[in-house]
A = this chain, B = another copy of it.
């Protein structure tokens, strides 16, 4: 690009999904050159794709990373050997390979959370069906949750089970994480961003609503008490600091009737539960992630309205639906992930900000329904 072209910092993103796509707007604003390694042509982040290739191939990723100021990720599936090769070539990886290793394996992460004294559901590691039976017996053979240690997302790799036969397929591949089925009053998510120099910024706690293990709606801020909200910030900040996370970290938690929090899942990257902050906060999670991995000073996470809601769009987006939705509500903000239509596929989201979430949620659901042609939930 020659010299002295604005900021001109170069950030590489492995993975061309919607998270990489949504890094494009803040990169354009801040004058950051975004380079995306996509697995295939026509990815969500195709506008910024500079290379098509397999993120599991060392040579591909090392070549992609050449000349970058930092390498970061749209997903957590890059193998350790690939990360080590890039780091060996002198390109900073953020979050680091060590931090990512915790995020890639739920058993490793569980050990770290326990060592840090952070609240998690009751759990066990099962390597045999006998282990599974023993854990079930603890809960009087009521349903428990089984999780594969790695590779799971959006409800994949997670099952509610009543007997050991339901996880024999997984046990063949190695140990399985078992957890009590938590009777929560709400699911919440705490986002935090941390830079290599140790600066941290948190956003307000949000409430997430899932269907079939997939996040469908987010309400911000959560109606949890100030005490609980502060506790959530403390939990997320502790994880970010103790694990040396750089970039955005999302900590999904169960909110109990007592006000207690139990950690459910973590994601070491921008996360679906933080999309509302693109409209609701002075600094979006995507801008903050770029600032954090570049060790730029972090932005204010102040809210610019009292409340906001995000509703995911599944299946497909079409021009007629978008027109209807925009006509019905001039305040609706649409985020189209540029994906082809497919039943059950997350293809976008809508956001609304305003004074209170109930009416916003009603309107956002109508908007999402107009876009997809599916009925309002």
The residues of A with any CB-CB pair to B shorter than 8 Å are 1-9, 21-22, 24-25, 28-31, 34, 42, 47-48, 201, 282-283, 291, 296-300, 302, 304-305, 316-319, 322-323, 326-327, 330-331, 333-341, 347-348, 353
**Contact between chains at A327 and B21 (CB < 8 Å):** no
Determine chain A's interface SS by DSSP, over half rule. loop
> A25-B24, A317-B6, A336-B7 are contacts. A31–B348 as well, Cβ < 8 Å?
yes
Tell me the minimal C-beta distance from A203 to chain B in angstroms.
13
Contact A305 B302 (CB under 8 A): no
**Closest CB pairs A-B (n = 3):** A31-B336, A25-B25, A300-B330
Is the CB–CB distance between A297 and B330 below 8 Å?
yes
Assess whether B6 is in contact with A330, with CB atoms less than 8 Å apart: no
Additional pairs, 10, CB under 8 Å, beyond known A5-B340, A282-B333, A299-B331: A4-B341, A5-B338, A7-B318, A8-B319, A22-B28, A25-B28, A31-B336, A297-B327, A299-B330, A304-B353
Residues A7 and B299 in contact, CB atoms below 8 Å apart: no
Flag if A29 contacts B336 (CB, 8 Å).
yes
A319 with B7: CB separation less than 8 A: yes
A48 / chain B contacts, CB cutoff of 8 Å: 47
Q: When the two chains form the complex, which single residue of B21, B42, B304, B318 contacts A28, counting CB atoms closer than 8 Å? A: B21
| 8 contacting pairs across A/B (C-beta < 8 A) | A6-B337, A7-B317, A7-B322, A31-B336, A47-B48, A299-B326, A302-B331, A304-B353
Smallest CB-CB separation from A342: which chain B residue?
B4
Q: How far is the CB of A17 from chain B (nearest CB, A)?
A: 13
Q: Hey, which chain B residues are within 8 Å of A298, CB to CB?
A: 330
Asked if A5 and B299 sit within 8 Å, CB to CB, the answer is no
Chain B residue numbers with a CB within 8 Å of A42 are 1-2, 5
